[in-house]
Amino acid sequence: LKNFIMRKVKTEQAIAVFLAFTAFAAGCYQFAVAAKNTISLTKRKVWVNRHLDAISRGADAAYGEEFKDFISFLRSEIPDDATVVLLRTTDLTPYRSKWFMQYFLFPRKITLCEKGDVESCVVMRKGPGVYFVDAGGFNPTAQTIEGLTALHFNESLRIFNPEP
């Protein structure tokens, strides 16, 4: 049998078949991993959010349900032509980035407060059509928020609207 095999199967042929099979097996394994991730993401983020708009689906996929709901809250409370000021009193990335919020709150104009001097930033910028987003860590004096109305989304997230 051994002689028969040695005659019939050249080493190189065996290597070629082995490598081709290895490539096939590797492709199948990678496929299984991709399929598993797809099914998981589809169940958690695509199917449950199928009734939502693109912004809300993206917000949920990026930072979860609370972020998605807060973005919906901001979009419903702040008019399209308003200016939104991010106070940046928190370390949470999505509430600190002008560019990130530009997408989720489009077409509203987004600006930032300089680090460390939030009180004077609010005093200087408040006015008609200017909304402040506080994602926690901002404890203003009554004088600072004079002329603004606080609207709470939850314990840590709120906006300051200009009084009509």
Partner 1 sequence: MSPSLNVLTTLLIDILLLMALFALGLLIVRTIFRRSDWLALLNLSMGIGAGVLTWVLFIVSWAGIVLNLQSLIGVYSALIVVFLYLSKRSGKKTSNGHSDNDTVEHSSISSMLLVNTTRTVWVLVISLIISSVLLSWGLSYHSWDGIAIWAVKGYGIASEGSIFGAINWGMVGLTFPLNIPLQVAIFRIVDGDVLPGSKLLFPAYFVFLLVGCYRFWLKRRLNILLAALGVLLISSTPLLFTHASIGYTNLPLTFYLISGLLWLIEGLDEEALNKVALGGLLLALAVWTRPEGLVLWVAIVIGVTLGMYVVGRRFSLITYILLPCLVIAVPWFLLMNQHYTPLDEYEASWRAIRGIARGEIYWEALYRILRHLGGQVFRFRDYGFLLAISTLLFCAGFKLKRVCTDLVRTILLISTVMMGLAVVGILYVFAYPPFGIHEVITRLGSDFNRVFMPPALSFTSLAFITFSDFIKRS
List interacting residues with partner 1 (CB under 8 A): 10, 12-13, 15-16, 19-20, 22-24, 26-31, 33-35, 38, 41-42, 45-47, 49-51, 53-55, 57-59, 61-62, 97, 99-100, 102-104, 106-107
Picking from 137, 128, 134, the residue whose alpha carbon sits closest to that of residue 163 is 128
Complex with partner 1: residue 35 or 124, whichever CB lies closer: 35
Complex with partner 1: residue 29 or 147, whichever CB lies closer: 29
Complex with partner 1: residue 49 or 161, whichever CB lies closer: 49
- β partners of residue 150: 160
Residue 43 amino acid letter: K
Cβ of residue 112: shortest distance to partner 1, in angstroms?
13
Cβ of residue 30: shortest distance to partner 1, in angstroms?
4
153 close to 161: Cβ distance less than 8 angstroms? no
Cβ of residue 46: shortest distance to partner 1, in angstroms?
3
Cβ of residue 155: shortest distance to partner 1, in angstroms?
26
CA–CA gap between residue 12 and residue 18 (Å, rounded): 10
CA–CA gap between residue 149 and residue 131 (Å, rounded): 10
CA–CA gap between residue 42 and residue 95 (Å, rounded): 26
Complex with partner 1: residue 4 or 99, whichever CB lies closer: 99
- β partners of residue 112: 86
| Residue carrying structure tokens 């040695």 | 6
- β partners of residue 108: none
Complex with partner 1: residue 4 or 47, whichever CB lies closer: 47
Cβ of residue 67: shortest distance to partner 1, in angstroms?
11
